[in-house]
């Protein structure tokens, strides 16, 4: 049968399916065609049942209003097309013994995945009360979009899913992340045509330029064009066929088109096209992996464009309004069957059109004749262990991070780049784990001073490499560092990679990590559900995000690059899955990174500047400090054995440096002042223990911060977050936080600190103002501090740099 290359005219009536086992003119025998169509009908029946029914799941009684849910929630439109694809994948899994997973991209398209999961028997294995009989099916139907049940997208509760689809745009990047370093895995991703309009999805088509056919698996995208979003037509479904084909050929794919609405024709065409795609994938991989292959060349991977009516096989019209093949099929096609007898009758007719009496036996189980169509064991899509990646995860072989330590003989004397130091550690992590660890970054690995990683592996690149690239471009067909100027795609790759059992590390500029705010949000919600409610989901590696190129060092990029608010976004998520670390120096960063790479089921956010900074703690001291997460720095404090007059606290490498400089000024000029200096590495230590697992008890907090002394807190980001964390503490009224105030431009580092008042001079002034006995005795010092602020700003505006006594400052004690 020829592959369709243009949209055929739609038949008014589906052709009758053959009923015997003789050979047809297509790929499928009549018996195969009959069984596959029946299995598909069973999927569609279950999808409709989930949307509507809370009782009478097999319609063995006349349908009554009390059988209908009180609230009808969910989406029907994409389900038939997704199940249609699934049935054909099952055939090929059995024929070729494929290792294959399925990602559902269309919004709220879970009924298709859930239906197939139930028919495969996996759902009943995971949730025994949803048994393969009439009673289990009733519970299976009722729970869908029902209080105490499950949501309408592929939530973590759905076996076989690594992609929730709570937000559109990430299915394809998740699919590629799953395929990297999984040479035998095929990831079929159904991309909804509404989803295809999103920016993240548009960039992820380019992921084929990063898929190495020698060592990676394959991604088979199925662009499901059913014509409409929630209330509008979709772009890709309306553009001319020639444009659509040219678009995907331009992306580097080989598109195959399956288009129509006649099930008999569509099954035959889909069988031919899916088998052709699988064979092309195997041929591509076989050629690339053969001994005669001299170099890696980017293949034109196959993809499928599946054009079907929206709400295929559903009601054509409802109350005179077009439904099938129109936007009204997107969600609930028949809106009022509980209160409208005519609608109730139409729903009953619709569900009976699938002939459930032919599909399920007396007990309510799928008949044996159809059960044989599903693969067995872990070859079932929803039982594939890659979709429960923690089952496959192996801990990293980590080098001893202590061996990368900076030698700190005295605090605040040596300057190094903390992230450059970290790069050496990550380089060797990669060397030790060349098939299970990748580093991700938007063209910023070297910019973030992690370039030593390239000694272990260069950047992934499957496009041509020209001679000029040898001079510093650091790309290779064998590379493992993932760089692309799309934070969405990178984060999607990273999530897909760890959700299928591997490990990774992503670095990004602080101001633009906001691009993945909502992606982080979705992943955090996935982790929370998985960790707290689903014991059958094994723990996966944590998402480790290094936030660098910080707000306080944007002296050339200016105001646009100054936004430390990603921490605030993270702080709003569940305390069970989020961690925020602000290591003040390189040894602390190494300790934190080692901890994060060993962890599971978290999103770890590490904030560290890439520029050279003073180093304060030996490795042993750093380990103790990071283990506690918060602590008094004795070398900077003067209150040993005494009650402090003031507490100077800090979080973040640059605020720490300014707080120490302020402390030095006060110690030099107010020798009898009792100062307690506190540094915070683990930001959640500030929270009460009842609100976060890392939180301090009130006794611990009061012991550190006192119950009545002024606390000057120099903080990396927006001050309100510290107040949010500490507002219940006994001494909160005396906690005065300095942080970023949205003040900045093309400033020198000190000038930027001054305009936001986190600088050494403003901190010292604040201490003088809040320690009563200093208000009179330190008046001359305060006046001098004000002069320093004026002189520093004037010098910056005249010379374009900070004064030498600022840039060369060292801890003097």
Task: Give yes or no: residues 542 and 685 share one domain.
Answer: no
Written as six digits, the tokens of 107 are 């919004």
Give the Cβ contact number of residue 788 at 10 Å: 21
Looking at 366, 391, 416, which one is the last position of a domain? 391
Task: Give yes or no: residues 552 and 525 share one domain.
Answer: yes
Q: Is the model's pLDDT at 4 over the cut of 80?
A: no
- In whole angstroms, give the CA distance from residue 253 to residue 205: 9
The pTM of this model reads 0.95
Task: Give yes or no: residues 565 and 640 share one domain.
Answer: no
Task: Give yes or no: residues 603 and 650 share one domain.
Answer: no
Residue 147 — φ and ψ, nearest 5°?
-50, 130
- In whole angstroms, give the CA distance from residue 454 to residue 475: 9
CA distances from 494 to 282, 400, 407, 504, 694 (A): 25, 24, 34, 7, 26
Q: Which domain holds residue 594?
A: 401-613
Whether 16 is covered by a domain: the verdict is no
581 strand-pairing partners: 606, 682
Q: How do strand 646-651 and strand 711-715 relate by DSSP bridges?
A: parallel
* Contact in structure between 111 and 123 (CB atoms under 8 Å): no
Task: Give the pLDDT of residue 17.
Answer: 41
Task: Give yes or no: residues 466 and 383 share one domain.
Answer: no
Task: Give the pLDDT of residue 512.
Answer: 93
Q: Is the model's pLDDT at 18 over the cut of 80?
A: no
The 10s digit of each residue's pLDDT in 298-340 is 999 999 999 999 999 999 999 999 999 999 999 999 999 999 9
Whether 25 is covered by a domain: the verdict is no
Q: Dihedral of CA 152/156/161/164: which sign?
A: positive
* Contact in structure between 525 and 600 (CB atoms under 8 Å): no
Whether 813 is covered by a domain: the verdict is no
Return the closest-CA partner of residue 251 out of 273, 272, 229, 236. Answer: 236
Start-to-end CA distance of the chain, whole Å, equals: 84
Question: Residue 729: which region, alpha, beta or left (left: phi > 0; alpha: psi -120 to 50)?
Answer: beta
Query: Which residues are CB-contacts of 319 (< 8 A; sequence separation ≥ 6)?
Result: 342, 343
CA distances from 557 to 441, 553, 711, 741, 755 (A): 19, 9, 33, 17, 16
Q: Is the model's pLDDT at 296 over the cut of 90?
A: no
Q: What is the mean pLDDT of the chain?
A: 94
Query: Which residues are CB-contacts of 398 (< 8 A; sequence separation ≥ 6)?
Result: 429, 432, 594, 597, 598
Query: Which residues are CB-contacts of 723 (< 8 A; sequence separation ≥ 6)?
Result: 732, 735, 737
Return the closest-CA partner of residue 15 out of 263, 269, 314. Answer: 263
Written as six digits, the tokens of 400 are 């001893």
The 10s digit of each residue's pLDDT in 550-593 is 999 987 888 889 999 999 999 999 999 999 999 999 999 999 99
606 strand-pairing partners: 546, 581
302 strand-pairing partners: 254
The 10s digit of each residue's pLDDT in 58-72 is 999 999 999 999 999
Looking at 334, 358, 391, which one is the last position of a domain? 391
* Confidence class for position 16, pLDDT limits 50, 70, 90: very low
Q: Is the model's pLDDT at 182 over the cut of 80?
A: yes
| Better pLDDT: 32 or 164 | 32
Whether 17 is covered by a domain: the verdict is no
Q: Coil, helix or strand for 758?
A: coil
Percent of the chain scoring above 70 in pLDDT: 97
682 strand-pairing partners: 581
pLDDT, mean of residues 766-778: 95
Q: With b meaning 16 or more CB within 10 Å and e meaning fewer, what string describes 434-450?
A: eebbbbbbbebbbbbbb
Q: Which helix (DSSP H) or strand (DSSP E) does residue 51 occupy?
A: helix 30-52
- In whole angstroms, give the CA distance from residue 588 to residue 620: 10
Q: Mark out the alpha helices in 221-340 (DSSP H runs).
A: 235-238, 241-250, 263-289
Task: Give yes or no: residues 366 and 462 share one domain.
Answer: no
Task: Give the pLDDT of residue 784.
Answer: 98
Task: Give the pLDDT of residue 119.
Answer: 98
Task: Give yes or no: residues 175 and 292 share one domain.
Answer: yes
Whether 623 is covered by a domain: the verdict is no
Task: Give yes or no: residues 553 and 635 share one domain.
Answer: no
Task: Give yes or no: residues 593 and 729 share one domain.
Answer: no
Q: Is the model's pLDDT at 22 over the cut of 70?
A: no
* Confidence class for position 25, pLDDT limits 50, 70, 90: low
Task: Give yes or no: residues 174 and 271 share one domain.
Answer: yes
- How many domains does the chain divide into? 3
Task: Give yes or no: residues 410 and 331 share one domain.
Answer: no
Whether 41 is covered by a domain: the verdict is yes
451: domain CATH number is 3.40.50.970
* Contact in structure between 552 and 749 (CB atoms under 8 Å): yes
Question: Residue 101: which region, alpha, beta or left (left: phi > 0; alpha: psi -120 to 50)?
Answer: beta
- In whole angstroms, give the CA distance from residue 204 to residue 212: 16
Whether 6 is covered by a domain: the verdict is no
768: domain CATH number is 3.40.50.920
Whether 672 is covered by a domain: the verdict is yes
Q: What is the CA radius of gyration of the chain?
A: 31
Task: Give yes or no: residues 585 and 684 share one domain.
Answer: no
- In whole angstroms, give the CA distance from residue 98 to residue 186: 8
- What is the 3 state secondary structure string of 788-807? HHHHHHHHHHHHCCCCHHHH
Residue 212 — φ and ψ, nearest 5°?
-90, 115
pLDDT, mean of residues 136-165: 95
Looking at 349, 367, 391, which one is the last position of a domain? 391
pLDDT, mean of residues 741-762: 95
């Amino acid at each position: 049968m020829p592959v369709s290359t243009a949209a055929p005219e739609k038949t008014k009536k589906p052709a009758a399916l053959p009923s015997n086992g003789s050979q047809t003119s297509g790929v499928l025998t009549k018996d195969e065609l009959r069984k596959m169509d029946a299995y598909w009908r069973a999927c569609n029946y279950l999808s409709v049942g989930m949307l509507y029914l809370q009782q009478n799941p097999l319609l063995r009684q006349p349908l009554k209003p009390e059988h209908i849910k009180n609230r009808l929630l969910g989406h029907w439109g994409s389900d038939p097309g997704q199940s249609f694809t699934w049935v054909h994948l099952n055939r090929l899994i059995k024929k070729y013994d494929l290792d294959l997973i399925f990602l559902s991209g269309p919004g709220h398209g879970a009924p298709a995945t859930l239906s197939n999961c139930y028919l495969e028997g996996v759902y009943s294995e995971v949730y025994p009360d949803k048994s393969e009989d009439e009673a289990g099916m009733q519970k299976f139907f009722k729970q869908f979009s029902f209080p105490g049940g499950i949501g309408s997208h592929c939530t973590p509760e759905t076996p076989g899913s690594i992609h929730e689809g709570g937000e559109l745009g990430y299915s394809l990047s998740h699919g590629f992340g799953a395929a990297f370093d999984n040479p035998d895995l095929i990831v079929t991703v159904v991309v909804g045509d509404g989803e295809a309009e999103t920016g993240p999805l548009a960039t992820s088509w380019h992921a084929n330029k990063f898929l190495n056919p020698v060592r990676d698996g394959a991604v088979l995208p199925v662009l499901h064009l059913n014509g409409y979003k929630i209330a509008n037509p979709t772009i890709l479904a309306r553009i001319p066929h020639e444009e659509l084909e040219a678009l995907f050929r331009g992306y580097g794919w080989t598109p195959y088109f399956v288009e129509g609405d006649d099930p008999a024709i569509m099954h035959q065409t889909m069988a031919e096209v899916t088998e052709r795609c699988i064979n092309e994938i195997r041929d591509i991989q076989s050629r690339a992996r053969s001994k005669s292959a001299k170099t890696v060349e980017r293949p034109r991977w196959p993809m499928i464009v599946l054009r079907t009516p929206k709400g295929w096989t559903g009601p054509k019209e409802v109350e005179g309004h077009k439904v099938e093949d129109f936007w009204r099929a997107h969600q609930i096609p028949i809106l009022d069957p509980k209160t409208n007898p005519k609608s109730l009758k139409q729903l009953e007719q619709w569900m009976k059109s699938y002939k459930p009496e032919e599909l399920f036996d007396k007990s309510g189980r799928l008949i044996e004749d159809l059960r044989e169509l599903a693969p067995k064991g872990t070859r079932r899509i929803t039982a594939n262990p890659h979709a429960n990646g923690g089952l496959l995860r192996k801990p990293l072989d980590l080098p001893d991070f202590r061996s990368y330590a900076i030698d700190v003989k005295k605090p605040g004397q040596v300057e190094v780049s903390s992230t450059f130091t970290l790069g050496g550690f990550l380089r060797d992590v990669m060397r030790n784990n060349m098939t299970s660890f990748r580093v991700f970054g938007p063209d910023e690995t070297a910019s973030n001073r992690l370039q030593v990683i390239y000694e272990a592996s260069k950047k992934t690149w499957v496009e041509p490499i020209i001679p000029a690239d040898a001079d510093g471009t650091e790309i290779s067909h064998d590379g493992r560092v993932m760089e692309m100027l799309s934070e969405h795609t990178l984060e999607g790759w990273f999530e897909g990679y760890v959700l299928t059992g591997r490990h990774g590390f992503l670095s990004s500029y602080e101001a633009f990590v906001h691009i993945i705010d909502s992606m982080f949000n979705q992943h955090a919600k996935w982790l929370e559900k998985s960790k707290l409610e689903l014991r059958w989901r094994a723990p996966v590696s944590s998402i480790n995000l290094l936030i660098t190129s910080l707000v306080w060092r944007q002296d050339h990029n200016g105001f646009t690059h100054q936004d430390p608010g990603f921490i605030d976004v993270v702080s709003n998520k569940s305390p069970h899955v989020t961690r925020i670390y602000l290591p003040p120096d390189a040894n602390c960063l190494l300790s934190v990174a080692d901890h994060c790479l060993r962890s599971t089921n978290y999103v770890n956010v590490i904030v560290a500047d890439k520029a050279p900074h003073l180093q304060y703690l030996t490795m042993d001291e750093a380990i103790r400090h990071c283990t506690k997460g918060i602590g008094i720095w004795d070398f900077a404090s003067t209150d040993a054995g005494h009650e402090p007059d003031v507490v100077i606290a800090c979080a973040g490498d640059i605020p720490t440096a300014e707080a120490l400089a302020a402390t030095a000024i006060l110690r030099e000029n107010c020798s009898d002042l009792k100062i307690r200096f506190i540094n915070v590495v683990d930001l959640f230590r500030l929270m009460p223990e009842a609100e976060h697992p890392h939180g301090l008890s009130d006794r611990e907090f009061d012991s550190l911060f006192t119950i009545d002394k002024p606390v000057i807190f120099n903080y990396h980001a927006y001050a309100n977050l510290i107040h949010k964390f500490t507002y219940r503490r006994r001494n909160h009224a005396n906690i005065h936080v300095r942080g970023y105030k949205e003040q900045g431009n093309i400033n020198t580092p000190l000038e930027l600190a001054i305009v936001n008042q986190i600088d050494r001079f403003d901190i010292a002034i604040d201490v003088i103002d809040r320690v009563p006995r200093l208000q009179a005795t330190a008046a001359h010092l305060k006046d001098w501090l004000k002069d320093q602020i004026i002189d520093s700003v004037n010098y910056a505006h005249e010379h374009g740099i900070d004064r030498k006594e600022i840039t060369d400052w060292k801890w003097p004690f």
